[in-house]
Homo-oligomer: A and B are copies of this chain.
Amino acid sequence: MAMNLRKNQAPLYIKVHEIDNTAIIVNDGGLPKGTVFSCGLVLEEDVPQGHKVALTDLNQGDEIVRYGEVIGFADETIKRGSWIREALVRMPAPPALDDLPLANRVPQPRPPLEGYTFEGYRNADGSAGTKNILGITTSVQCVVGVLDYAVKRIKEELLPKYPNVDDVVPLHHQYGCGVAINAPDAVIPIRTIQNLAKHPNFGGEVMVIGLGCEKLLPERIASENDDDILSLQDHRGFAAMIQSILEMAEERLIRLNSRTRVSCPVSDLVIGLQCGGSDAFSGVTANPAVGYAADLLVRAGATVLFSEVTEVRDAIHLLTPRAVSEEVGQSLIKEMKWYDSYLRRGDADRSANPSPGNKKGGLSNVVEKALGSVAKSGTSPISGVLGPGERAKQKGLLFAATPASDFVCGTLQLAAGMNLQVFTTGRGTPYGLAAAPVLKVSTRHSLSEHWADLIDINAGRIATGEASIEDVGWEIFRTILDVASGRKQTWADRWGLHNDLCLFNPAPVT
């Protein structure tokens, strides 16, 4: 990918914390050997954009410090002005989980932020939707061929008659049968499906298509009402199945169509935060700006979810002090331990993250990635922890434990009740979800220019000094309210770019 130098831009690097002995190169296309910075630093070699330069001479074994934290140790002598390549950084051990400080630096609550609302769909259970969707849940993958056929006809024949309904979304997944449904970890995919079926953007209309012989009984999903379940094996042939699905859908479309947007407090928002295709800018532009917006949301009473266990694991010592109580701190640690053991039983470890693209973007290892990733969580107290697939039941900043995989994390945040996601990306991904809007924030100018019809907000202006973290944070906050209100459409929704759901099933298939 060719990057153009931003016009007239002086050589620039970003040092995050005063004790850092490394900084990242800001300029598009990187900077050549011999570049002289205003502070007098001279580059000893070409350094790509987003990659690290040594600010001091480092001996073998010296700490490499970024974000005020040790991200690794020099594997050989590195001269001031040299490129700190990934291969030169020896990764430190992860923070031990048994002696972490708990709830000892709980941030003071900041003043409530008042006067902001959004236009949403009020649900009977007290939640609110940012879209008005007919969601059709499946109890088993067997039914998706039939369901897809039906959904095509619903969209062509029925949906146009109900203009207040935004979409019809079939919830495909790969669970339901051929799985060890009594294994201890099966609780995760099962509660995920249960909670997805009742997503706030589905207006309380539950509709479950089952087969009739699957292990995951549809009654476990639509527990309140048998009328919400349709079993294919009860139907005399394909044509009858389609007829029944269309009828069941239309009943619900009629009810959904009668809804209108009403003014809702920001406390009805459940905002998921995620990053994907991260680079070294993620932690200094997009993620801190999202963190700023997260603080605003928390002050306005919203629920804010941050996630991605493998990307917070190495920064956990910065999070447990922010937990509102020792109990919440212990819950954070419990999720870290569970994941450590999950990786170990698959003979994997945290070095499986970052991806080659992350590395190309300047991230040396998961420690550096984690320090940048947790910036999304802002500075609020951590009020609670959700296990994978659990539904959020409280306000404030919550850690929703999920893998970092974009689709798995997105699916689990949806299950948590997320009605809008903010997604930061450095390398660029066209990620989107059918069930809730996804607002994409780029870490770099060049990505916003390169993908002008995919990126919603450009946080790259922070690196060049054209905007502050605060400016972009407020832009994100205001855009969330616009998108949640249906006043503004994300690029992903404009094009209809929606990734498949991806359940997290740590239990065996059979």
Residues of A within 8 A of B (CB): 1, 141-146, 148-149, 172, 174, 177-185, 211-215, 217, 232-234, 236-239, 241, 276-277, 310, 342-343, 345-348, 350-353, 355-358, 360-361, 403-409, 427-432, 450-454, 491-492, 495-500, 502, 504, 506-510
Contact = CB atoms under 8 A, between A and B. Distances in A.
8 contacts: A1-B233, A145-B430, A145-B431, A177-B406, A211-B277, A212-B357, A233-B427, A506-B508
Contacts of A502: 141, 174
A239 B500 CA distance: 21
Contact of A183 (B276, B347, B350, B403): B347
B500 A178 contact: no
A234 B500 contact: no
B432 A145 contact: yes
A352 B182 contact: yes
B142 A499 contact: yes
Given A179-B405, A238-B451, A510-B310, A141 B499 contact: yes
Q: How many copies does the complex hold?
A: 2
A226 to B, nearest CB: 15
A503 to B, nearest CB: 9
Nearest to A503: B174
Given A277-B211, A346-B183, A356-B213, A450 B495 contact: no
A499 B500 CA distance: 13
A142 B276 contact: yes
Contacts of A141: 406-407, 499-500, 502
A234 B346 contact: no
Contacts of A407: 141, 174, 178
A405 B183 contact: no
Given A146-B430, A180-B348, A500-B172, A408 B509 contact: yes
A479 to B, nearest CB: 19
Main secondary structure, interface of A, reads: loop
A234 B357 CA distance: 13
Contacts of A181: 352
Given A180-B343, A213-B428, 10 more contacts: A141-B406, A141-B500, A177-B405, A178-B409, A179-B352, A179-B405, A211-B357, A212-B428, A342-B508, A504-B509
Contacts of A241: 430
Contacts of A217: 356
A507 B348 contact: yes
Nearest to A278: B213
A509 to B, nearest CB: 5
A213 to B, nearest CB: 2
Contacts of A432: 145
A404 B510 contact: yes
A214 B355 contact: yes
B403 A509 contact: yes
A430 B356 contact: no
Given A142-B406, A144-B499, A508-B342, A355 B177 contact: yes
A246 B491 CA distance: 21
Given A348-B510, A454-B238, A510-B310, A429 B142 contact: yes
A17 to B, nearest CB: 27
B499 A430 contact: no
Contact of A237 (B146, B172, B427, B450): B450
A500 B342 CA distance: 26
B142 A236 contact: no
B142 A237 contact: no
A58 to B, nearest CB: 28
A507 B346 contact: yes
A430 B232 contact: yes
The interface centre, meaning the residue of A145, A149, A345 with most chain B CB atoms within 10 A of its CB, is A145
Nearest to A143: B430
Contacts of A144: 499-500
B500 A352 contact: no
Contact of A495 (B149, B277, B352, B431): B149
B497 A149 contact: yes
A233 B428 contact: yes
Nearest to A358: B213
Nearest to A184: B347
Contacts of A495: 145, 149, 238
A180 B454 contact: no
